[in-house]
Amino acid sequence: MTPLIEVRDLRFRYEDGTLALDGVNFTLGAGETVALLGPNGSGKTTFVLHLNGLLAGEGTVSVCGMHIDKAHLPAVRRKVGLVFQDADEQLFMPTVLEDVCYGPLNLGLDPKEALAAAERTLRQVGVEHARDKAPYHLSAGEKRRVALAGVLAMQPEILVLDEPTTFLDPPGRRALVEVLRGLPQAKLIVTHDVWLARALARRAVFFEHGRIVADGVLEDVLARFAWDPATA
Amino acid sequence: MHHAVLDRWSRGASLLHARDARMKVLLLLAFLVAVATTPGFAPAHWAIYGGAVLAGVALARLPLPAVLFRAAVVLPFSMAFAGFSLLAGDSSRACALVAKSYLSAAAVLVVAGSTPLPKLLRALERLRVPAFLVLVVQFLYRYLFVISEQAQHMRLAAESRGGWRFRLAAGAVAVLFARSYARAESVHRAMLARGFQGTVAVLAPQRAGWQDWALLAAGLAAVAVLRFGPELL
Amino acid sequence: MHIPDGMLATPVWLALDAAALPAVAWVARRAQREGEEARAPLLGVMGAFVFAAQMVNFPVGAGTSGHLVGSALLAITLGPAAAVVVMTAILAIQALVFQDGGVLALGANVTNMALVGVLAGYLPYYWWGGGRWRRAAIFLGGFFSVLVAAVLAVAELRLSGVRIPGAIWWITLGFFAITAVLEGAITVAVAGGLEALGVGRVREPVAARPRRLLVVAVAAALLAAVGALAASTHPDVLEKLIESLGLAARAGGR
């Protein structure tokens, strides 16, 4: 069984010289949901930006058996759907509908098909009422779900979410978890939200100083690093 | 924010809202040209133009007092120069400056208030305005509110810590610059993540219906009558 | 100095639309062809930034404050070509959404602020920004971008027959000068802020085609000079100018 994602010895240094990733090894199997935990600045976001080729470091990153290189980028970006931490930066089109159609149109779907895909995923995440609204009229939770819809409309095999519950109120968090639970894709979730991690993931990896220092059952990782604020 | 009001109006519903934006743009241009080229002191003419604007406001179901108030934003500028003209003895020009600038602003307001900006931009693009420029305006409008809010927050934060000074303002604007630049890079990354490969594909454009063509024809005829009618009579 | 519709004479606004809008379209199309469509989000966002920054007040004492216009700042951080496009986008939004400046008058406003204003803001930096006169160069950029744009605007109004009595003209000129000084000061301060942040966004003063720029610069200077002349209240100079234009039109048009 080819793993969905395979990362071998990934190293990455920013332009100013900071070493952000220091030899990361990671595999993701089909249908898995993994929580990425760790302190701020430990490299979690930098790591996920490598998974669809937005950043390129040393070492190898393979998605569905494909090495990430220039030739494979379009295919990789079809497979890996990345939901960014700041929804405002992800919803850059004038209306919700146009934004969700953006991905499908780029994949070469004709406008009718793109529209159908957009309407389907908007319904799937529960924001079809917002289809003609401008993004800045939406609440944080709605924006987050629209961003998710935009990614789902491309029918990825892997979903990567970077801090998806930031700025969400409790109902918003619950709504998001409900939606995510119903999705069949494998999921990688960068999060500080232990409640979210518990609701969705069985496995967790822990980042520290650009390395994965633990990879195992969520509860074990939480306990080992005293990461649950309720029990710390 | 000012543009929130116009944004709300433009998402309303009326006969005018439903029309193809290209027709509205062309009619607006025709009207503006008519007003601009009407020579001299012509109060009767201006009154007729005013009637046309009022009809537009009614057709678009816009709140009249608010529209009249908003259009007045041009008055400080035109009245200043009207004042200068009066001082120089040219009272007819003074009246013309005020009347024509106000009428023009109101006309733009009728169209902008009955057409969401993204639709307006799409229409301009189909009317051969360069796509790159339209795209820039589109992104500008999208992030205008977000960044303005950021600026306001910075101001509030500074004031609650003891006041707003020149130096502070410059520093805040510099930070705003840096954050905006970083935001632009993130937007670009988000575009790449969803398959951006150099051109921005768009949804199928609206096709013009018979009502749109009818509006264009009738509107252009009306503008011609408005402009040249009084002279012929 | 956003000129509304209904104030400029038809030959004036028509000529400026015919000259400026294709010029901007050319710059925009070139940016597009050179694969720079990826720059659209950057230019749009920076346009939103300038818009927001224009509403920030810079207290200068005695309860008054100045505001940034931004042509010079854009020119030295993004380059003159990008600055032209961004300023045009800003002017378009201001005309359509805020009724600040007319639609037919866009050609005039674009000429004043997006073309000549940007160039006037960039050239001092291009010539003297590399050495120890850097801050002065940036100041001059801000100063001239506003002053030239304002003088041109008044010149266009003057050419349209809008009279300005003598004393008022000097007061207006003084007002322009103060606004221009403020723009220079604010531009320098913000540029300094950028350097302090280590953002390093202020470009090195390098231009692609010096000769072409020089030609445009001379043309702009001439334009400004004509503008200043026309805007003055020496009626004999202006009447002669209009007369010669009118004569020319009569001879050519029939």
Contact C40, C78 (CB under 8 A): no
Q: In this structure, what DSSP letter does residue A11 have?
A: E
Contact C230, C157 (CB under 8 A): no
Closest to B203 (Cβ–Cβ): which among A92, A101, A136? A101
Which of B132, B183, B186, B196 is the best mutation test for C, with the most CBs of C within 10 A?
B132
CA atoms within 13 A on the CB side of B57: 21
User: In terms of DSSP H, where are the helices of C55-133?
Assistant: 71-78, 80-98, 106-109, 117-128
Which of A92, A101, A115 is the best mutation test for B, with the most CBs of B within 10 A?
A92
- Determine, yes or no, domain membership for B21: yes
Kindly compute the dihedral angle of the four CA atoms of residues A171, A173, A178, A180, in this order, to the nearest 10 degrees.
Answer: 160
Which of the four pLDDT bands, split at 50, 70 and 90, describes residue C250? very low
Q: Is the pLDDT of residue C209 over 70?
A: no
> What average pLDDT is seen over chain A?
93
Instruction: Determine whether the interchain pair B192/A54 forms a contact, defined as Cβ–Cβ distance below 8 Å.
Output: yes
Could you report the predicted ipTM of this complex, rounded to two decimals?
Answer: 0.94
One domain, residues B112 and B32: yes
Q: Residue A54's domain spans which residues?
A: 5-87+157-224
- Determine, yes or no, domain membership for C4: no
Contact C25, B122 (CB under 8 A): no
- Determine, yes or no, domain membership for B72: yes
Task: Say which CATH number the domain at C213 has.
Answer: 1.10.1760.20
pLDDT of residue B37: 94
List CB contacts of A69: < 8 A, sequence separation 6 or more: none
Q: Residue C62's domain spans which residues?
A: 10-253
- Determine, yes or no, domain membership for A31: yes
Q: Give the pLDDT confidence of A63-110 residue by residue, as tens digits.
A: 999 999 888 999 999 999 999 999 999 999 999 999 999 999 999 899
Q: Please state, as a whole number, how many other Cβ atoms lie within 10 Å of the Cβ of residue A183.
A: 16
One domain, residues B34 and B138: no
One domain, residues B179 and B217: no
One domain, residues B95 and B38: yes
CB-based burial, B68-82: b 16+ in 10 Å, e otherwise? eebbebbeebbbebb
Q: Is the pLDDT of residue C233 over 60?
A: no
Contact C90, C112 (CB under 8 A): no
The C-alpha atoms of residue A119 and residue A116 are separated, in whole angstroms, by 5
One domain, residues B149 and B39: no
Helix and strand numbers (H, E) in chain A are 9, 10
Chain C: touching chains (3 or more CB pairs < 8 Å): B
- One-letter amino acid for residue B74 of the chain: V
The structural domain count of chain B equals 2
Closest to C53 (Cβ–Cβ): which among B85, B151, B166? B151
Paired residues of A211 in beta bridges:
A208
List CB contacts of B90: < 8 A, sequence separation 6 or more: C163
Identify the closest residue of chain B to A147 by CA–CA distance.
B190
Here the tokens at position C5 are 């519709």
Q: Is the pLDDT of residue C58 over 60?
A: yes
Q: Which of helix, strand or coil describes residue A178?
A: helix
Q: In this structure, what DSSP letter does residue C43 have?
A: H
pLDDT of residue C3: 95
- One-letter amino acid for residue B133 of the chain: L
Task: Say which CATH number the domain at A206 has.
Answer: 3.40.50.300
Contact A40, A20 (CB under 8 A): no
Better pLDDT: C242 or B17: B17
Query: CA of C139: how far to CAs of C80, C128, C186, C187, in Å?
Result: 16, 11, 8, 7
Which of the four pLDDT bands, split at 50, 70 and 90, describes residue C30? confident
- One-letter amino acid for residue C182 of the chain: L
Sheet holding A211-217: strands in order across?
A80-83, A158-162, A186-190, A33-37, A203-208, A211-217
The structural domain count of chain A equals 1
The structural domain count of chain C equals 1
Q: Which of helix, strand or coil describes residue A166?
A: coil
- In the block, which residue shows the tokens 């007729």? B48
Q: Is the pLDDT of residue A232 over 90?
A: no
- Determine, yes or no, domain membership for A105: no
Contact C6, B101 (CB under 8 A): yes
User: Which residues of chain C make contact with B11, given a CB cutoff of 8 A?
Assistant: none
Paired residues of A37 in beta bridges:
A206
Q: Give the pLDDT confidence of C76-109 residue by residue, as tens digits.
A: 998 898 899 999 999 999 999 999 999 999 999 9
Instruction: Determine whether the interchain pair A115/B203 forms a contact, defined as Cβ–Cβ distance below 8 Å.
Output: yes
Q: Give the pLDDT confidence of B100-129 residue by residue, as tens digits.
A: 999 999 999 999 999 999 999 999 999 999
Closest by CA position to A96, among listed A143, A155, A166? A143
Instruction: Determine whether the interchain pair A154/B193 forms a contact, defined as Cβ–Cβ distance below 8 Å.
Output: no
**Strands A19-28 and A5-13: what pairing?**
antiparallel
pLDDT of residue C253: 38
One domain, residues B135 and B44: no
- Determine, yes or no, domain membership for B6: yes
- In the block, which residue shows the tokens 């920076």? C46
**DSSP H or E segment with residue A203:** strand A203-208
Q: Is the pLDDT of residue B67 over 90?
A: yes
pLDDT of residue C29: 80
One domain, residues B49 and B156: no
Angle in degrees, 0-180, between the axes of helices C117-128 and C210-231, rounded to the nearest 10: 130
Q: Give the pLDDT confidence of A156-215 residue by residue, as tens digits.
A: 999 999 999 998 999 989 999 999 999 999 999 999 999 999 999 999 999 999 999 999
Closest by CA position to A145, among listed A120, A114, A179? A179
Chain B: touching chains (3 or more CB pairs < 8 Å): A, C
> What average pLDDT is seen over chain C?
83
Identify the closest residue of chain B to A103 by CA–CA distance.
B194
Q: Give the pLDDT confidence of C162-202 residue by residue, as tens digits.
A: 888 888 888 889 999 999 999 999 999 999 999 888 775 55
Phi and psi at A24, nearest 5°, equal: -100, 130
Contact A78, A154 (CB under 8 A): yes
Instruction: Determine whether the interchain pair B112/C161 forms a contact, defined as Cβ–Cβ distance below 8 Å.
Output: no
pLDDT of residue C249: 45
Lowest mean pLDDT among B88-102, C120-134, C169-183, C237-251: C237-251
User: Which residues of chain A make contact with B190, given a CB cutoff of 8 A?
Assistant: 84, 89-90, 92
- In the block, which residue shows the tokens 């003055």? C232
pTM of the model: 0.89
Instruction: Determine whether the interchain pair A94/B201 forms a contact, defined as Cβ–Cβ distance below 8 Å.
Output: no
- Determine, yes or no, domain membership for B180: yes
Closest by CA position to A202, among listed A5, A30, A34, A27? A34
Q: Residue B217's domain spans which residues?
A: 2-123+207-232
Q: B125 CA to chain C: closest CA distance, Å?
A: 12
pLDDT of residue C208: 46
Contact A118, A104 (CB under 8 A): yes
pLDDT of residue C252: 40
- Determine, yes or no, domain membership for C236: yes
Here the tokens at position A94 are 């004038």
Q: How many beta-carbon pairs under 8 angstroms link A with B?
A: 76
Q: B210 CA to chain C: closest CA distance, Å?
A: 27
Q: Please state, as a whole number, how many other Cβ atoms lie within 10 Å of the Cβ of residue C200.
A: 8
One domain, residues B14 and B104: yes
One domain, residues B179 and B98: no
